[in-house]
Amino acid sequence: MLAAVLYGKEDVRVEHRPRPLIGDGEVLVRIETALTCGTDVKVYRRGYHARMIQIPSAFGHEFAGRIAAIGPGVEGFQVGMRVVAANSAPCGRCFYCRRGAFTVCDDLLFLNGAYAEYIKIPARIVKQNLLPIPDHVSFVEAAMVEPLACVLRGVDESQIAEGESVALLGLGPIGLLFLRLLKLRGARVLAFGRRATRLRVAEQLGADAIFNVDVVGDIPARVRSLTEGRGADTVIECVGHPSAWELAIGCVRRGGMAILFGGCATGAHVHLDAGRLHYDELTIKSPFHHTPHHVREALRLISHRVIEVSPWISHTASLVELPQILAHLTRPNGMLKVAIHPSESD
């Protein structure tokens, strides 16, 4: 089969590899659609991910497809069934899992290899996070379950209420998913981004005010001017750079909350005003990843058309084009998510 393998910094190669063999409790899926992701682009640029992937490794983690084979002991699934799998599953036994903190599980099992013709789903993920796709949901739509699940958890962590003001920093695919969910909660969203195409999508999704960060000037001052001088009730950062984390803190009102959602590089340092954190009683959260509950909720929202996937898919490509696609995504452009169709590489 064809599969994309990450060998290091900006080094992804599409190679012929043996089709995975499955064992007890495992499922083999033929991938129909895989989606590019901002996390994958960061991993491609850095050549690693501290928790999710170590090189050399199969690459990619957002996908949907059909079951090609089933291992002994698997129940509830059949060959040919349309399925979507999340890219992880917690152990359910450790200190953190016993307290419901599944995203910081001591043995959080990650799955990579979505940019391929086939992928083996480990038994733990089969049990917890392999879901049938409703007949009316396409493979492209189903592949959005994983990023949507992450954003759902971020919104839940924010505890945003109707009518509250939210400054949203970053309008990539994740930031735009936040925008859609925030508007569903009745929030007033001040959206800050850079690319014209993404600013247009933010307008289509109902942002209350939209700003190009290259021309707006002092962003905290602009947020205060739109919130009666206070600052935003909540700021959600979706950039993944220390300067953006610092900017997010600067936009929060006293007693407000900053959701630092974009993951910075390992070893990065952020400079914050300790006096402001303390005397302004700020709350800072940095939610990472999803839970089995959020994976199911994401599929429900997609299947009920609460979330329409089409605005997020800007291009399609075959698997053999992936290295060029990833290189292009590292450069400033208006692309959102690219749907990769491995079958078109046959």
Q: Which positions ≥6 away from 182 have C-beta within 8 Å?
A: 155, 160, 166, 168, 189, 236
Q: For the domain with range 2-144+309-345, which CATH number is right: 3.90.180.10, 3.40.640.10, 3.30.465.10, 3.10.150.10?
A: 3.90.180.10
pTM: 0.95
Instruction: Map tokens 């299947």 to a residue.
Output: 303
If one compares 346 and 289, the residue with the highest pLDDT of the two is 289
Confidence of residue 51 (pLDDT cuts 50, 70, 90): confident
Sequence-ordered list of residues with C-beta below 8 angstroms from that of 300, at least 6 positions apart, any chain = none
Q: How many helices (H) and strands (E) does the chain have?
A: 11, 18
Return d(Cα 338, Cα 297) in angstroms, integer. 23
The share of the chain scoring above pLDDT 90, in percent, equals 91
Domain boundaries, the chain: 2-144+309-345, 149-285
Give the mean pLDDT of 19-40.
Answer: 96
Q: 327: which residues sit within 8 A by CB, 6+ positions away?
A: 10
Using 50, 70 and 90 to split pLDDT, how confident is the model at 266? confident
Note the pLDDT of residue 334.
Answer: 74
Query: Tens digit of pLDDT for each residue in 153-203?
Result: 999 999 999 999 999 999 999 999 999 999 999 999 999 999 999 999 999
What's the pLDDT at 48?
75
Q: Would you state the pLDDT for residue 256?
A: 98
What's the chain's average pLDDT? 95
Residue 47, burial from CB neighbour count under 10 angstroms (0-12, 13-18, 19+): middle
DSSP secondary structure string for all residues of 224-248: HHTTTTS-EEEEEE-S-SHHHHHHH
Q: What pLDDT sits at residue 345?
A: 54
Tokens of 175: 């930031």
Helices 38-46 & 322-329 angle (0-180, nearest 10) = 90
What is the fold, at CATH topology level, of the domain defined by 149-285?
Rossmann fold (3.40.50)
Q: Please determine, for residue 344, whether its predicted confidence score (pLDDT) is greater than 70.
A: no
